[in-house]
Amino acid sequence: MLPDWWQLDVTEPFTLGPRRLPGRIWTASGCFGYGLHAHDFRSPGGEGPYAGIGAVVTKTVTPAPRAGNPMPRLVETACGALNSIGLENVGFDAFLADVLPALEVRGVPNIVSLAATTPEAFGPMVARLHEQARGYAHWHGVELNLSCPNVAEGGHDFGSSAATVARCVASARAALPDRALLAKLTPNVADIAQLAVAAREEGADAVSAINTVVGLDVDLRTGRPFLPRRFGGYSGAAILPIALAKVDQVVRGAAVPVVGVGGVATAADALKFFALGAVAVQVGTAQMRDPFAAAGIARALARGPR
């Protein structure tokens, strides 16, 4: 039973910035690939994993192809997963040439996740993306991955500084006149609301909160961390309360639409984000375990016949 206060239908279109998106349940970047490889899957009820979802946020794309970090780079824990993937991807040129057209042909609603090595590099990437895809019906916007290293500033994450967040958003916004622009925020800061304010003031239509939490796990067989780079991004059910707290801080302190991310595995989890004021929700780690997770949540929270 849905609670009495719940009035939305997450499978109906809604407006975010200049775009009308087809729904409020999305898959999170990195957790459903590029959104191309599950079209032949069917649940016992006959539905595919794209049924009812509003957007696939693509695996993050970087200017050049990346092989990613050494193995192992994904470690399951009792309540989630640690990853140190290292932004493995095909690179921007191959994405524009092969992946994005395939998403359009297959009718996959998508938000493209981008990472760059300097704030100013986002602008040319977004400009090329817009030139290629401005006629596409299913490309709805860009999510800036601001938890990547800023080479120009000694390797510090873009997302740890409000001033740098502002530069990234400003660079991208200037090249993106008619698609939604989101900034994905790190929780690994003292005040996430100030990052959201900086993004809003430079023209972000929304922020995605949160990215992964810094974590580490130890292999007792060796006495060393599981991951060769020691630390990784922790995601999954265990970070749900952290994500809810950060979303609440942004909603109450930044006056910008928030897409909630972090620990969503069930319809009840998603409802908690909506109760706090999120306009949409992304399903991440749960989607890697069950490719029908997001579609199942969308079905459970739809207000029409189910």
User: Which of the residues 31, 79, 148, 168 is marked catalytic?
Assistant: 148
> 79 catalytic, yes or no?
no
Closest CA to 143 of 37, 39, 246, 284: 284
Among candidates 294, 287, 249, 144, which has minimal Cα distance to 206? 144
Instruction: Give the DSSP H/E element, type plus range, for residue 57.
Output: strand 55-57
Phi-psi region at 154: left, alpha or beta (left = phi > 0; alpha = psi -120 to 50): left
DSSP SS3 for 140: strand
CA–CA separation, 209 vs 45, rounded Å?
32
Q: What is the 3-state secondary structure (H, E, C) of 174-198?
A: CCCCCCEEEEEECCCCCCHHHHHHH
CA–CA gap between residue 89 and residue 160 (Å, rounded): 24
Task: Count Cβ atoms within 10 A of the Cβ of residue 206 and give its class: 0-12 exposed, 13-18 middle, 19 or more buried.
Answer: buried
Exposure of 37 by Cβ count < 10 A (0-12 exposed, 13-18 middle, 19+ buried)? Answer: exposed
| DSSP structure class, residue 239 | G
What's the CA angle centered on 196, arms 132 and 73, to 5 degrees? 70
Q: Please state, in angstroms and rounded to a whole number, the distance separating the CA atoms of residues 32 and 296.
A: 15
Q: Which residues are catalytic?
A: 148
